Chains A and B, each alone.
Chain A
Amino acid sequence: MPHSFTVNDRHVEVDAPDMTPLLSVLRGPLGLTGAKPGCGEGRCGACTVLVDGRPAVSCLTPVALAEGRKVRTVEGLAEPDGPLNPLQDALLEHGGVQCGACTPGILMALTALFERDATPDEAAVKESLAGNICRCTGYHKIVEAALAVAGGNGGRS
């Protein structure tokens, strides 16, 4: 089945059965391996992308549901040869990245949050990460980075 939608503002057409996970389409024919197949069952959140601005676990999102929609992935957060966006930069500044496998999903979940609410508090940040597992960092430095972007005091110190 042909499907057309945009990925990071670029129009794409792919031919895949309707129920093919969006993640497989992104990582296979579209060659975007930023979203990670951490669990393949919607539990870890490493494959989180935005579909029309809302976070979705792409491993459980059938490609047919992307039809005509705007899909955004971690690769679209900053121009490949341009500077990092504020969230990306803050994660590095605050030490919120270790192995980094969860990072693409964390960034997309936080992006959705910040597009809804530019000054979230700690509870809102944690709420937005409810579907994202990070096994390395213990989350504190991720939350700290997000609060720094929100213009807070850099989170709990």
Chain B
Amino acid sequence: MTRVVGTNARRADGEDKVRGAAVYGMDHGVTGTLQAKLLRSPVPAGRIRRLDTARAAALPGVHAIITAADVPDTTSGWILKDQPMFAREEVRYIGEPIAAVAAETTEQAEAAVAAIELEIDPLEPLTDMDAALADDARLIHPAWESYPMLAPGPRSGNVAWESTLDRGDVDAAFAAAHLVVEDEFTTQRQHQSPIEPHAAVGRFEGGRYVVHSPAQFPFLVRDRLAEWLGVPASKVRVVVTTIGGGFGGKIDAMLEPFVCVLARKTGRAVRLVNTRAEELQTAGPRENARIRIRTAVSAEGEILGQEADTNADNGAYSGEIVACAAVPGLVFGGTYRVPVARYRTRVVYTNTAPTAAFRGVNGPYAMFALEQHLDHIAAKLGMDRRELRLRNVVKAGEAIANGQVLDDAVFDEGFARIEEIAPWAEGAPSGNPRALRGKGIGAVTWLTNPGPGGATVKINEDGTAGVICAGAEIGTGAVAVGLRQIVAEELGLTPDQVVILPADTDAGTYDGGAQGSRTLFSLGNAAVQASTQVREQLLEVAANLLEASAADLELDDGHVRVKGSPGAQVPLAAVALTALHTSGPISATGRHITPPVQFDSGCLTGALFTGFATPTYHVHSAEVEVDRDTGKVTILRYVVAQDVGRAINPQQVEGQILGGVLQGVGYALYEDLRVADGVTLDASLENYRLPTAFEAPPIDIALLDNPWPEGPYGAKGAGEPSIIPVAAVIASAVSDAIGKPIRNLPITPFDVLAALREDGTTEGTTR
């Protein structure tokens, strides 16, 4: 029994957020700080012939203008370090920073940007992957071989990164197959579009750079700044503000280096905030991709072997997509039994804005492709689509394509729970009898990011607890409520007696960032370890005060108590104060790292994620109706069965699922960050269409209780994965309704109508 863990405690930052008092990155330095703007490249590819800032620098209010000439000639990046802070000789995408201005006001900074004299000799732009992969294609990075890497991986020319998974005799499987099915899919860019744009305020003090920004992964930002600014990491301090949404888009550094250098040049604090247009056009979205997949199956619908080839658009510079290049293969071969497999992902440079992590990195399109492909196989075999999945989905103890054994897979339970809520053979009520109806169902394995973390727990002299860590509270509540609940549970406190210091790289232990559902998993484990030591320290001091053996003591309700002796107790405040004079202040640090995944190490190349660390299991289903006159898709019912290990705060977990599903609905039906000739066409939320309250479908949630022994109180990661299956099951449902395959995302009304008007339409199966 737990007292605090498993309850819907309120978030610590909630009051400030509903009062308008929380200070976000965009709120820092609104007044009294210099305002900065960037000069960005107007062309997708070219060589800088002339860059003259003299006239601009003389304009009123301008304090400094910096260009590549003012910063070290280095490149930086998380895995593949190919990105300069400013374009130096060559520009590689529209929007690439070329100069930065700091002025008294934003208007003055904008005027100075406009007055910078820039001449660029255009180069042939390679604005799509096919052009970049052509045999005679110009090299987007002529010096690609010289770039440093965090870890080596196969690369070549315009292929920034390649990852392969090759296991077993695939050719033999295809030769022996009853049926071979092959498909090709393309998917679009999707923009994270948090309400808060990227923002940063920089200062230079004590010979160090201090930057305040809504950073998801402050230590990555620190390390990137160190690389760009040519200083040791210890010369950089990243202080995380309240984060106004990130979804992966705020993992990497973006505006931070510019304010740091401008602050040093001007001796003033400097602020830089993206406009919404800059956000959409330059802050890396989910990558567009093309997937070819081919499967050998038996007459009974058993998958015998599979191969897939994925091209993922890196844009001009590398972010997280290279880090996750192995993910499509893990999705293809990680859920349904694929005994032999050959997968390749190429991450391809193009002269477009760099792409980046968006919740479920590389996963949603891989699952979309796989599930449509399975539907195609089911149709060819004349088999029920759900039945095909049930026959192939892995069971506990079975291995997936990389050789990893999934000991605790709970897909059967997931399918069963969905069947209870929304039986496959029954339809949801609808007000439109003329509409076409369809259903989709699919499953996926996902991971809890295994990155390291640490937490220090101390007992304050008033008997409350303090936690120091560098976990960024991105909005999920992982830090603001989940971590508090765990520490409160451990120490016999209430959540509001636990105070957590906001993330600051000067204070907290290294932390792997708010990504891949890892924050509460990793920091929860670290905090449990720290709390265990704190508890021992408390009991040791209290044992003297209570004249009892430490073994007979317990922590409860802010006191140390003698078990079974009501009244024999001492408040934590008294213990903490006593400790100041006896044992020393009460404090301990815990740390955490997830052990490496056990897999067949010979089968993978170029893989930073080699398998599913702390795996989680997900089954989603959707039922839609399609208006045959307008092509409009309406989601009548959506069901999620998700393994979260154990929910530390069920309400917050539900919030993650509901939010992730709606982002997935956007990806499936509405969101399409269009790029043409290197120009990101969607520069406004007027045409980049985010889901509103009207598009939120009814969603039922079944949390699968599947405690993970190595998780804090059994928890696994829960934040990220709900977005991944959504496009897959909605596309299956639409395809079922209209009797036509869906091969591209998003599924717009125009696409639906065009598909319906194709010859040979067999109208929807009304089930």
Contact = CB atoms under 8 A, between A and B. Distances in A.
Given A36-B26, A135-B193, A92 B15 contact: yes
Among A41, A98, A138: residue with most chain B CB under 10 A? A138
Among B20, B22, B658: residue with most chain A CB under 10 A? B20
B242 to A, nearest CB: 7
Contacts of A27: 27, 30
A44 B244 CA distance: 13
Interface string B688-724: 0010111010110000000000000000000000000
A130 to B, nearest CB: 6
A88 B196 contact: no
Among A46, A80, A132, A137: residue with most chain B CB under 10 A? A137
Given A44-B685, A98-B659, A38 B17 contact: no
B655 interface: yes
Contacts of B245: 98-99, 101, 135-136
A136 B477 CA distance: 11
A145 to B, nearest CB: 10
B19 A138 contact: no
Interface residues of A, number: 56
Contacts, number: 169
Contacts of B336: none
Interface in A107-157: 107, 125-126, 129-130, 132-143, 156
B475 interface: yes
A129 B22 CA distance: 22
Interface of A: 27-29, 31-41, 43-44, 46, 73-75, 77-78, 80, 84, 88, 91-95, 97-104, 107, 125-126, 129-130, 132-143, 156
A130 B195 contact: no
B58 interface: no
- In the A-B complex, the 7 residue pairs with the smallest Cβ-Cβ separation, listed nearest first, are A34-B20, A99-B475, A100-B17, A101-B244, A138-B658, A74-B20, A43-B685
A92 B11 contact: yes
B23 A33 contact: yes
B696 A40 contact: no
A140 B699 contact: yes
Contacts of B275: 40
Contacts of B8: 95
Contacts of B696: 138-140
Contact of A43 (B196, B474, B684): B684
Interface in B6-22: 8, 10-11, 13-15, 17-22
Contact of B19 (A29, A34, A129, A134): A34
Contacts of B197: 38
Interface size range of chain B in the complex: 35 or more
A105 B658 CA distance: 20
B565 interface: no
Contacts of B108: none
Given A102-B195, A132-B693, 11 more contacts: A41-B276, A46-B195, A74-B18, A77-B19, A101-B244, A107-B18, A126-B694, A133-B685, A135-B193, A135-B659, A138-B659
Given A98-B475, A135-B193, A84 B19 contact: yes
A73 B659 CA distance: 26
12 contacts: A33-B30, A39-B276, A98-B655, A98-B659, A99-B244, A130-B693, A133-B685, A135-B193, A135-B194, A137-B655, A140-B658, A143-B693
Among A32, A41, A107, A142: residue with most chain B CB under 10 A? A41
B658 A135 contact: no
Contacts of B652: 95
A44 B658 contact: no
Contacts of B692: 129-130, 132-133, 139
B24 A126 contact: no
B614 to A, nearest CB: 23
B685 A99 contact: no
Nearest to A74: B20
A77 B8 CA distance: 25
Given A84-B15, A135-B245, A41 B685 contact: yes
A135 B21 contact: no
B686 A101 contact: no
B619 interface: no
A86 to B, nearest CB: 11
